[in-house]
Structure 1
C-alpha cells in the first residue's frame, strides 16, 4: 500500500510540476495533460511577447488518451479560455486584496496633517474595536472587522429603492459621486482601561477630522465610525462637536441610552458611570448636543426607573417607539424626525439592536419586537436633505450572529445608506 501511495504521489507531483516547468511553453503535442489544461494559467498575459499576448488558452489531447475522456474534454477544446490582464483590474473584486469597507482605498488617517504622508479625503470610515462598557453580552470589539466582511458586495452601483420615489438618491452611486472615501482602519484601543481606550478613540477621531478635504466647498471631512459598543459614540460626538458645534442626534436604538449614571453603573465607581447606556447623558451634560433637537427612533426596551423618561426629556430627546411603525407611515416618521432636527448639523447613530432579534441576532443586548431591515433603511434614506456630518453603526457582535452573517450584512448596508445621505446633493 505504501509503495502504491508513493507511486501515485510521485506521479501527481511530476504532473503538477509540468504546470510550472519549461514544458508549459512546448508545443501542445509534447506537453503533459495537466500542462495542456492549466499551463496558460501560469503564463503572463500582459502582452510582453507574441505567445503571451494572444490571451487565449488552448490545448490538444494526446491521441493515446481514452476516447471517452477525449469526448468529455471536447468542451474545453471548442471553448478556449480568455484570461484577464495581469493587473486584474477587469476581474471581480469581491474577494481580492485586503478587506476594506466596500473596497474603498485604505489611508494613513492618523498621520499629522503636516506630514508628507498625510492623506486627503472627504469621508473617512474608521473602526472602534471596543466593548468593555457593555451591560450584557461582550463581543462588539470584533464588529468593525465583521462590518467590513459584510460589505464585500458593496462599492458601486445604483439602488432602485434608495430614497422615496423621485429622490435624487435613486440616481446616485455614492462611491462615485465626487467624494473621496477612504477606510482608515481601526483606532488602537486598549481592552484593559476604558479611560485610556476612549481617549485613544477621541485622539484618533480628532486626527481624522484634522485632514484636508478634496471636495470643493467641504471644509471638514465627514466621519463614519464602525463600533464597537455604543460608548464609542460619545468620543465621536466630542470630535464632531469640536468642528461643527452642537449637533442634533438621530438615535436609532431599542434603548434610550440617556440613563442617569447613578441609575446605570455609576453607583459603584465614577469610571463605570460612562457606559453604553449613559453616553447620551454625558453628551448632553458636556454640551455636545443642540438643546431640544435630538430624537430616538425604535425605542422599545423597558426603563429601569419611572424617572428615566423625564431624565431622557431633560437630556433633549423626543422618541418614536418601535410600535409607532405599525401606526404611522414612513413619511410621517421621517417628517417628525426632520422637524425635530431642523437644519442643524446632524449626527446619526444606529445601534443594530434597533432591529428585531430575528433580523439582527448578532448584538449585545437584543430586544424582541424591533424594526425590520427594510423599515430601518427606508427611514434612513428618507432623511435625504439633512446636513449629516457624522454617523456610526454600533453593537454588532459577530460571535452571536448567524452563520449567514446576516447582522454584519445588514449593518454594512446601513453604512451604505449613510454614504448616500452624505454624498447626495
Structure 2
C-alpha cells in the first residue's frame, strides 16, 4: 500500500511538472549557472532554448485561423502542401507535416521522416536567439523586441487529396489572416486597395506552387503587386512547355505558377524581377515568355561580372550596367532599380537559390548558386522596400545534412526578412519611418 501511494505521488509530481511547460529559475547551489536575463541590454528572460513549444524564433503562438482574439502586425503561417513533386517536402511552422501525393504509403513514410526534421529550422533559429537575444547587427534592429506584434499562427489546414481544392484552401486561409485589423494602429492611409494598413503574412511552404494562391489572396487586398523572386528557375513556363499540361489541374505546378499569375493580372507590369537564375531552358523563347510575364532576370553568374564590363558578354547590357557596383552591391542595385521604393512588393524565396553546397535539401537543386552569406547580404540590401508579405519554399528536410544546413539557412534568411519588415514599421503612406 505504501509503495503504491509513493508511486502515485511520484506520477502526480511528474504530471504537475509537465502541466506547466514554462522553465523555472534554478534555485540552490547551481543557481549561478542560470542566466536570469540575457547578458547585455534589454533584461529579457533567458529561457532554455530547448524548452517550451517550438515556434519560429520562439515567437508567441496563437491559432489565428481558429480565433480572431489576438491581433498581430506580422504573422508566420505554415502551408504544408507539395502539389507537384512527391519529394518536394515541407517546412511548416509547427510539426504537422503532410505531402500532397498520390501514393499514401509513400506519403506516410516521407511525412514520418519530415516530422523529425521539420522543426530543425525553428530549433536552429532558437538556439542562437535564446542566448544572443535576436539583435540583427547589420540591420541594427531586433525583430523580436519592437513595437510590432509578431505571432506564430500555426498552419493552414489543407487537404492531401485534391490539388485544386488545396490551392483554394491556401488562398482563403491566407486571406483570412491578411484582411484583419493589425495590432499597431496606423495613423495614415495604407497601401491596400481600401486605403487601409494591413498586417503582413510570412508563409513557410511546401513547394513553390503555393505562391499562386498567395498572390490571389494578396490581389484581393492590394491589386497587382511587384514580385521579387529568388530562385534558380524561372517558374514562368507555359504549361505545355513545363509538364505537358495533361489536365487543367496539372497545368498549375511549381514551374508554371508565375505564368498563371501574369495571365490572371496578379503582377504589376514591368517591375518584377528574378534573382539567382541559372537553369537550363527549353530554348531562348523561355526568356522571351518570361519578359512577356513582366520579369527582368538577374542570373546567378552576374555576381561575378556585374560592374566589370571586361568580364561581361558583349551585349547591350554592358553599357547599362557598366557603372554598377561589383558583386552583391551590384545585384542589390539592379533589384532596387527595378522594383522601386513606392510599390507594394511581395518577396518569394526558393531555397534552391542557394548552391547545393549550402542548401542540398531541396527538390530541384542547381549547381553554381549563391552562398548563404551572399544571399543574406543581398536580402539585407533590400531594407526599406515595402514588403507586404513573403514566402520561403521548396525546403525538403528529409534530404538535409546531419548538420541541418538547409533548414538553418532557411531560418537565417527568414530572420533577415522579418527584421526588414519590423524595421520598416506599419506600411502606411506617411508612416514609413523606421521603428
Shared fold, TM over 0.5: yes
Alpha-carbon separation, structure 1, partners of 2:30 and 2:293: 68
Alpha-carbon separation, structure 2, partners of 1:418 and 1:119: 23
Provide the residue aligned with 1:197 in structure 2: 166
Q: CA RMSD in A?
A: 2.9
SS of residue matched to 1:176:
coil
Question: What does 1:336-351 align with in structure 2 at a 5 Å threshold?
Answer: 336-342=334-340, 343-351=342-350
Provide the residue aligned with 1:118 in structure 2: 69
SS of residue matched to 1:393:
strand
Which of 170, 177, 184 pairs up with 1:215? 184
Provide the residue aligned with 1:385 in structure 2: 384
Q: CA deviation at 1:151?
A: 2.5
Question: What does 1:14-413 align with in structure 2 at a 5 Å threshold?
Answer: 57=28, 81=31, 90-111=45-66, 117-134=68-85, 137-140=87-90, 141=99, 142=114, 145-153=119-127, 155=129, 156-160=133-137, 162=138, 169-170=139-140, 172-217=141-186, 219-328=197-306, 329-342=327-340, 343-413=342-412
Cα distance per residue 1:216-237 (max 9 Å; x no partner): 3172010100011000111111
8 Å CA contact 1:144–1:228 kept in 2: the answer is: no
Distance 1:56 1:290, change over 3 A: closer
SS of residue matched to 2:228:
strand
SS of residue matched to 2:387:
strand
8 Å CA contact 1:230–1:395 kept in 2: the answer is: yes
SS of residue matched to 1:201:
helix
Q: CA deviation at 1:106?
A: 1.1
SS of residue matched to 2:330:
helix
Distance 1:81 1:118, change over 3 A: closer
Alpha-carbon separation, structure 1, partners of 2:364 and 2:221: 32
Q: CA deviation at 1:266?
A: 4.3
Alpha-carbon separation, structure 2, partners of 1:85 and 1:261: 56
Q: Which has the greater radius of gyration? A: 1
Alpha-carbon separation, structure 1, partners of 2:175 and 2:58: 24
SS of residue matched to 1:309:
helix
Alpha-carbon separation, structure 1, partners of 2:395 and 2:65: 24
Q: CA deviation at 1:153?
A: 2.8
SS of residue matched to 1:231:
helix
8 Å CA contact 1:144–1:226 kept in 2: the answer is: no
Structure 1: unaligned runs, 5 residues or longer: 1-12, 22-40, 42-52, 58-78, 163-168
8 Å CA contact 2:76–2:202 kept in 1: the answer is: yes
